[in-house]
Amino acid sequence: MTVHTYKTTSGRDLIYEYIDSLSIDEIVDGYSVIEKLIQNRTDELHIKHWQGKISEVYFYKHNRLFYVTIENSDIHILHACRKQKNRTEKKDAEIVLKRAKEIFSQ
């Protein structure tokens, strides 16, 4: 599978920036999750359908990666955040939906 992380128009990779800002254990687990997505080892991940074509994968200490799978097995990681409550924060949900719309309109 090919994994694409969300980048701003200026080229900043917001997914890796988020992961790199975490503790060492969280960083290791975050990179491990991305590697398993690349290797199509999704059976080893805790994945939950989120909304529409969007899923979320859990990793160390309540961190989440929101992603969508597009044709040809391309995975687009849209957003990364720490989920503190049972529900996704409104601002995080808005970011995920906006970025998914961008991906589907390309």
**Residue 42's CATH number:** 3.30.2310
Q: What is the pLDDT of residues 60-76, one digit of tens each?
A: 989 999 999 877 779 99
Mean pLDDT for each consecutive 10-residue tract of the chain (106 residues)? 93 97 96 95 93 93 90 89 87 95 85
User: What does the longest C-alpha to C-alpha distance in the chain come to?
Assistant: 36
Position 74, amino acid: D
Q: What is the domain extent for residue 42?
A: 2-104
74 with 35: CB under 8 angstroms? no
What pTM value is reported for the model?
A: 0.91
